[in-house]
């Protein structure tokens, strides 16, 4: 069902954990749907210097968050905002159709963390990051 | 403990056993059409008749009441759709079932609803058991069929089938039971239990896939599902799958040969597993502890998701299953776990371990050795677990 790359990132997830003094934290998904992703970022001079994640969810949810952290670490915020779920899926060598929503969550968790970073800086994140869909309470049809 | 392979998904399907495999292989060469006149066909007929006797004996039925099918799903479809057609002719349109039936029953009932039938699904409560008084209360004048599974496929709870059967018989309501999980694990006597129709699947009892049966009590008239030739006394068309039927007959004989010994042996191992697994923090057993199949253990572990749990178990050589949404192929977790009142987020973290007579104490201890660190690992990276810990600090 899963590619070798997915299984590798699931079995050996990169950048798992928390950042105690994170500059931005983003959480998307909800328990009812069965997946929650939480992203922590450290930012210096517009560059994401460190990133960590915690995920509750299926194999592909863990794998997508893991590879997404690798894809933004050391990159600028602008580059991180350009990371699409499609790029995440491609980097994993593909995902089963019903697991694509995991890659969307990965993209959104990064955006949510960056939005939080801007909010902490006193900058309205919405014009830069866009709106992150609310998922609480119901089913995430993404 | 050294890495081993533990198959603990016997409620999903089973390995073909050696004696059944022998029968299967030895009858694959029996090719004569059983409906033909010549001796070659007669040989095939003898093989089928012998399997029919084995199947009848296994549930205390008469051979004329056994009809071979392609398996549990066909048997359930036939029983419900065949009975519904008869009900329609009598002006009856109400069917009673339960909320946690197998999809072969539930989805067939959804289809019947579209055909204009009324369906009442009885609640199964936290213990996963149907209440007889609730069945009695649900009965209407136009109730023509009650279909309630013998034992649940996910949580293994065994329903009060004899009581339900007696009540239905007294009230002239036809009673069907899906006994796919129960056969070989519970003593079944269709006469004593007043069962009118009963579905069985071969591959759950060490026979091959694609074969099963529907028991239809003498005198119960239902319409055909598969029309065509005159096989199975004109009630189920299609040239007989001789080798699979022979293997199925053997499997039925073996599965019901000594059920008390099997229950004694397997339930001891099941309890060893349940006791060990419940030592894990914030875990729970799903379904009644005692009224459950000897090989079924179904637990939830808060803060983890079932699919990732299964993947990590698989990496350790353990095959099990889960009722999480990710494994159910939909956005919702198992309808069975929701029917017993579990919250979505708890149901996502379910694990079903289904063992059988081939499971050893070492297998159980191996699972119990691997499971806690896997749960711990998933919880350590779970924001949900983090939240649960904060809320309960």
- Residue B329 confidence (pLDDT): 65
- Rounded Cα distance between B225 and B83, Å, is 10
- Rounded Cα distance between B177 and B97, Å, is 10
Burial annotation A58-94 (CB, 10 A radius, 16+ → b, else e): bbbbbbbbbbbbebbbebebeebbebebeebbebbee
Is B326 an active-site residue?
Answer: yes
Per-residue pLDDT, averaged over B242-252, amounts to 98
The complex's ipTM works out to: 0.94
- Rounded Cα distance between B201 and B179, Å, is 8
Across the interface, of A10, A56, A98, the residue whose CB is closest to B382 is A56
Give pLDDT tens digits for B45-98.
999 999 999 999 999 999 999 999 999 999 999 999 999 999 999 999 999 999
Give the three-state DSSP class for B98: strand
Radius of gyration of chain A (CA): 14
Across the interface, of B306, B348, B383, the residue whose CB is closest to A54 is B383
Give pLDDT tens digits for B288-306.
999 999 999 999 999 999 9
Going by pLDDT thresholds of 50, 70 and 90, the confidence category of residue A135 is low
H helix or E strand, kind and range, residue B7: strand B6-7
CB contact under 8 A, A31 and B345: yes
Going by pLDDT thresholds of 50, 70 and 90, the confidence category of residue A134 is low
CB contact under 8 A, B305 and A34: yes
pLDDT-above-90 percentage for chain B: 97
CB contact under 8 A, A11 and B315: yes
- Mean pLDDT, chain B, integer: 97
CB contact under 8 A, A56 and B304: yes
| CATH of the domain spanning A4-129 | 3.90.1010.10
Across the interface, of A7, A32, A38, the residue whose CB is closest to B383 is A38
- Residue B149 confidence (pLDDT): 98
Per-residue pLDDT, averaged over A86-106, amounts to 94
Q: Which tokens sit at B273? A: 């597993």
Give the three-state DSSP class for B208: coil
CB contact under 8 A, A55 and B381: yes
Going by pLDDT thresholds of 50, 70 and 90, the confidence category of residue B393 is confident
Residues with Cβ within 8 Å of A18's Cβ and at least 6 positions away in sequence, in order, are A40, A52, A54
- A10 to chain B: closest CA residue: B308
Which residues sit opposite B151 in a β-bridge? B158
Quick check: B173 pLDDT over 60? yes
- Rounded Cα distance between A119 and B72, Å, is 58
Q: Are A102 and A64 in contact (CB under 8 A)?
A: yes
| A133 closest CA partner among A25, A38, A24, A30 | A30
Shortest Cα–Cα distance, B29 to chain A (Å):
36
Q: Which long-range contacts (CB under 8 A, 24 or more apart) does A128-134 make?
A: A128/A81, A129/A81, A132/A26, A132/A28, A132/A108, A133/A108
Residues with Cβ within 8 Å of A96's Cβ and at least 6 positions away in sequence, in order, are A1, A2, A60
Residues of B in contact with A55 (CB under 8 A): 381-383
B interface with A, Cβ–Cβ < 8 A, is 303-308, 311-312, 315, 324-326, 329, 331-333, 343-345, 348, 378, 381-387
- Residue B328 confidence (pLDDT): 64
Give pLDDT tens digits for B71-82.
999 999 999 999
Give pLDDT tens digits for A14-32.
999 999 999 999 999 998 8
Place of tokens 């602008």: A78
- Rounded Cα distance between B336 and B345, Å, is 14
Quick check: A140 pLDDT over 60? no
Q: How far is CA B218 from the centre of its chain?
A: 24
Residues of B in contact with A32 (CB under 8 A): 343-345
Active-site residue identified among A58, A102, A135, A140 = A102
H helix or E strand, kind and range, residue B306: helix B306-315
Specify the higher pLDDT residue, A101 or B61. Answer: B61
| B26 closest CA partner among B246, B248, B212, B208 | B246
Per-residue pLDDT, averaged over A54-81, amounts to 97
Shortest Cα–Cα distance, B126 to chain A (Å):
19
Quick check: B327 pLDDT over 80? no
- Rounded Cα distance between B216 and B229, Å, is 19
Per-residue pLDDT, averaged over B309-335, amounts to 88
- Mean pLDDT, chain A, integer: 93
Q: Are A30 and A36 in contact (CB under 8 A)?
A: yes
Per-residue pLDDT, averaged over B188-212, amounts to 98
pLDDT-above-90 percentage for chain A: 85
- Residue B332 confidence (pLDDT): 82
Size of interface A-B (CB pairs under 8 A): 74
CB contact under 8 A, A55 and B307: no
CB contact under 8 A, A56 and B333: no
């Amino acid at each position: 069902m899963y590619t070798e790359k997915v299984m590798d990132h699931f079995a050996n997830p990169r950048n798992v954990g928390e950042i105690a003094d994170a500059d931005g934290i983003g959480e998307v998904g909800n328990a009812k749907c069965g997946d929650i992703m939480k992203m922590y970022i450290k930012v210096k001079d517009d560059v994401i210097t460190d990133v960590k994640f915690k995920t509750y969810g299926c194999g592909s949810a863990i794998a997508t968050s893991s590879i997404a952290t690798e894809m933004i670490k050391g990159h600028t915020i602008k580059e991180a905002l350009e990371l699409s779920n499609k790029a995440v899926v491609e980097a994993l060598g593909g995902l089963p159709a019903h697991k694509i929503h995991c890659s969307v969550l990965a993209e959104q968790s990064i955006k949510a963390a960056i939005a939080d970073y801007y909010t902490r800086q006193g900058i309205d994140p919405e014009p830069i990051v866009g709106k992150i869909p609310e998922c609480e309470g119901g089913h995430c049809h993404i | 403990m050294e890495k081993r392979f533990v198959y603990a998904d016997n409620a999903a399907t089973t390995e073909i056993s050696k004696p059944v495999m022998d029968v299967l292989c030895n009858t694959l060469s029996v090719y004569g059409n059983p409906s033909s006149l010549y001796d070659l066909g007669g040989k095939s007929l003898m093989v089928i008749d012998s399997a029919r006797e084995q199947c009848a004996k296994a549930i205390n039925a008469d051979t004329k009441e056994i009809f071979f099918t392609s398996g549990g799903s066909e048997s359930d479809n036939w029983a419900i759709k065949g009975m519904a057609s008869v009900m329609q002719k009598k002006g009856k349109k109400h069917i009673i079932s339960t909320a946690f039936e197998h999809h072969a029953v539930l989805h067939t009932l959804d289809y019947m609803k579209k055909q204009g039938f009324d369906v009442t699904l009885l609640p199964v409560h936290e213990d996963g058991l149907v209440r007889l008084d609730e069945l009695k209360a649900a009965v209407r004048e136009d109730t023509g069929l009650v279909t309630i599974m013998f034992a649940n496929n996910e949580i293994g709870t065994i329903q009060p089938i004899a009581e339900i059967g007696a009540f239905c018989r007294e009230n002239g309501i036809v009673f069907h039971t899906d006994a796919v999980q129960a056969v070989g694990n519970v003593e079944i006597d269709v006469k004593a239990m007043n069962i009118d129709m009963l579905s069985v699947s071969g591959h759950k009892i060490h026979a091959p896939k694609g074969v099963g049966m529907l028991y239809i009590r003498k005198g119960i008239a239902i319409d055909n599902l598969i029309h065509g030739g005159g096989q199975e006394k004109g009630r189920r068309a299609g040239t007989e799958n001789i080798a699979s039927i022979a293997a199925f007959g053997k499997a039925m004989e073996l599965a019901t040969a000594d059920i008390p010994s099997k229950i004694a042996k397997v339930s001891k191992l099941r309890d060893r597993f349940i006791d060990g697994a419940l030592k894990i923090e914030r875990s729970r057993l799903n379904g009644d502890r005692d009224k459950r199949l000897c090989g079924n253990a179904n637990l939830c572990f808060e803060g983890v998701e079932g699919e990732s749990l299964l993947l990590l178990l698989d990496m350790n050589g353990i095959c099990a299953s889960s009722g999480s949404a990710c494994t159910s192929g939909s956005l919702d977790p198992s309808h069975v776990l929701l029917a017993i009142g579990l919250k979505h987020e708890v149901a996502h973290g379910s694990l079903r371990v289904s063992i059988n007579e081939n499971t050893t104490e070492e297998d159980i201890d191996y699972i119990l050795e691997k499971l806690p660190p896997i749960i711990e690992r998933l919880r350590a990276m779970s924001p949900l677990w983090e939240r649960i810990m904060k809320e309960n600090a």
